[in-house]
Amino acid sequence: MRRTAMMVMTVAMLMVALSGAAFAAVAVEEATAGGDLIKGTAKANTYHGLGGDDAIYGMGGNDTLYGDGGNDGLYGGAGDDTVRGGSGDDRAEERKVFGGSGDDTLYGDAGSDALNAGPGNDRIFSEGDGEVDVVDCGSGTDTVKKGSERLDRYVGCERFVR
């Protein structure tokens, strides 16, 4: 039996095909200091947006997404994801932190953030940088660790801890 190998690299994933059978490897993404669009795979992925206004989609798997600098849109997707906004205002229609389905962990970090946990039993950290955060816990039983900002807004959150 003759074996052939073909490697194809795209921006968001590496596919290896051996004898007609395809296997998805862990996604490798090199972000830039500018604005990037990053789409994950069905596997567990870790992405750093670096600088710029990025849109990062984890898709399936248990992903870890870091917005880093800039005003980012972070979307965990299916799986139990960890999503960290980083510095900048991670909010507005296409610039927010969204956990997706699963039991997610979201961090607002520095800047004025919009955190949407989605379904699942989520942990949300909306702590102390003096900026106003908007937190929508979604369905499930969620726990929010909040800071001392009196202007932060919380919707549908069940438990608060300090």
In tens, the pLDDT along 128-150 reads 667 778 899 999 999 999 877 77
> Helix/strand/coil (H, E, C) string of 1-32?
CCCCEEEEECCCCEEEEECCEEEECCCCCCCC
pLDDT score of 102 more than 50: yes
Largest Cα span, the chain? 69
Q: Give dist(CA 67, CA 53) in Å, integer.
A: 9
Q: Which residue has the higher pLDDT, 108 or 141?
A: 141
DSSP bridge pairs for 151: none
DSSP bridge pairs for 37: 55
pLDDT score of 7 more than 50: no
Question: Helix H segments across 18-153?
Answer: none
pLDDT at 129: 67
In tens, the pLDDT along 36-79 reads 899 999 999 999 988 888 888 999 889 998 888 888 888 888 88
